[in-house]
Amino acid sequence: MKRRIDTLLVHASELVTPAPELDGPARGAQLDRLTVVPDGALAVDAGRVVAIGTTAELLDRFDADDVVDANHRLVSPAFVDPHTHLLHGGSRHDEWQGKVLERAVPGIDAGIRTTIAATRAATDAELTERALADLDEALAHGTTVLEAKTGYGLSPEAEIRLLGLTRSLAHPVHVPATYLGAHTVPAEYLERRAEYVQSVLDTLPGIAATADFCDIACDPVSFTVEESRRIAERARDLGLALKFHADQTGDVGGTQLAVEFGAVSVDHLDEASDAALKALAASETVGVVFPGANFHLLDMTASLLPDGRPPKDLAAWADRVLRSGAALALSTDYNPGTAPSLSMQMVMQLAARLYRWSYAQVWHMATLNAAAALGLQDTRGSLAPGKSADFVVWSVRGHGEVVHRFGTNLADRVYAGGRLVAAAGRRLPGTGAATPPSPAL
């Protein structure tokens, strides 16, 4: 007897997903083993995946209230974007043009302070309106989970404000909230670093019940290992899960510190040593990398850093990181200065071009591994039974086409929790806050 379900999607040219049996991020040889089902089908009930298989197999097993024809197009899990700076004011396009024209521009930390000033000056309504519009754009490009950090307030009051605004966003995209009070030292505290670190420590108890994560930037332009350790210890004692920005502009041991504290993710890794990568590979911490930032910062031709470093050999770096055996994820790093893009499609496309990573590798890193970088691998990131039915119907037939083509949004329809929430590049009217799928199958 056939089982009755809510939705049955049929006739996908390919249904592609990380292997449903994977219970953690893919690494090593696993990254090359995408599950690809020709003439694929997807069974959904109560907002969750029930089964995947061929169209013939699932039509034989299920009756559905709604049968959706994919019209011989690609179907995949939706993207997870595990690192963004969603709420911010202002723009830094003039700063970037100065870099392109090889004019003097501020360093990365100075650029952050420009955004801090603009964010502090923006009203709650302005910040919220912009964030919702950005979430619409991310959703239309296939992202249904997007982490959002504070870090552009950098005073206790301003950071609590940003965290509250993040929590108030009503949108189909699921938005985990991260406290990043330890982003950089604000201008007014440059001669009083210890006081600023103490202000971060003093803020943590008040936000521990509100934030999903505490992030710490351990980097030459941000916080030292000693300062980061103090913050990490306090956050851990309060029960906060940890994330780290680490070793972006220099190797200060931030990656090892993240591993030591069992961080969910450690992000950037541009200057991480071989020893740091070895430690990362031996851990459950996910390393998150940002080809969009490498691209936008012109790392292959120049550097924003004041010491005039030579261009980076990104392919050699990426090969070293990949061969380390660490679990790796991709993210936009969306922010107004170093990575102003919300498209995870573009991120995969750049990873293939700049890092020389394969189609299968970048698909894993933008879905299941990205979910693991938020501790969500049990509920998101693949089309496995029991997981939230977050998926995309594409305007192409093969998963390689999404990576091979660039500069065009190829997502045709986006579903979150089994609901159609975006189509033809726009969020659908009447799709408000994300609705958690029913635990019943």
Question: For residue 51, what is the domain's CATH number?
Answer: 2.30.40.10
* 245 shares its domain with 154: yes
Do 268 and 301 reside in the same domain of the chain? yes
Q: Check whether residue 272 and residue 387 sit in a common domain.
A: no
Residues 18 and 110 reside in one and the same domain: no
432 within domain boundaries: no
Q: Are 19 and 118 found together in one domain? A: no
Residues 393 and 257 occupy one common structural domain: no
Expressed as residue numbers, the domain containing 60 is 3-78+382-427
Q: Are residues 118 and 44 in the same domain?
A: no
Q: What is the pLDDT of residue 310?
A: 73
**Do 287 and 389 have their domain in common?**
no
The answer to whether position 434 is within a domain reads no
pLDDT recorded at residue 311? 79
Measured distance CA(178)–CA(183) in Å, rounded: 11
In a domain, 204, yes or no: yes
223 assigned to some structural domain: yes
Rounded to whole angstroms, the Cα distance separating 419 from 357 reads: 32
CATH number at residue 176: 3.20.20.140
In a domain, 436, yes or no: no
Q: Looking at the structure, do residues 269 and 411 belong to the same domain, yes or no?
A: no
Distance of alpha carbon 413 from its chain centroid, rounded?
20
Query: Exposure pattern of 226-241 as b/e (b: 16+ CB <10 Å)?
Result: ebbbbbbebbeeeebb
The pLDDT, as a whole number, for residue 364 is 98
- Residue 433 falls inside a structural domain: no
Residue 435 lies in a domain: no
Q: Are residues 393 and 291 in the same domain?
A: no
The residue from 309, 341, 372 where one domain ends is: 372
Q: Say whether both 278 and 318 belong to one domain.
A: yes
Please answer whether residues 333 and 147 qualify as being in contact, where contact means their C-beta atoms are separated by less than 8 angstroms.
no
Residue 440, pLDDT score: 43
What pLDDT is attached to residue 302?
Answer: 58
Q: Domain total for the chain?
A: 2
Report yes or no on 59 lying in a domain.
yes
Instruction: Show the tokens assigned to 225.
Output: 């290992």
Model's pTM, two decimal places? 0.95
> Can you give the pLDDT at residue 384?
98
**Beta carbons within 10 angstroms of residue 397's beta carbon:** 14
User: Which of 13, 149, 50, 77 minimizes the C-alpha distance to 416?
Assistant: 77
pLDDT tens digit at each of 441 positions of the chain = 899 999 999 999 999 999 999 999 999 999 999 999 999 999 999 999 999 999 999 999 999 999 999 999 999 999 999 999 999 998 888 877 777 776 655 555 567 778 888 999 999 999 999 999 999 999 999 999 999 999 999 999 999 999 999 999 999 999 999 999 999 999 899 999 999 999 999 999 999 999 999 999 999 999 999 999 999 999 999 999 999 999 998 999 999 999 999 999 999 999 999 999 999 999 999 999 999 999 998 888 755 555 566 778 999 999 999 999 999 999 999 999 889 999 999 999 999 999 999 999 999 999 999 999 999 999 999 999 999 999 999 999 999 999 999 999 999 999 999 999 999 999 998 887 766 565 544
Which of 411, 410, 356, 432 is closest to 174 using CA atoms?
432
Q: Same domain for 67 and 147?
A: no
pLDDT given for residue 66 in this prediction: 96
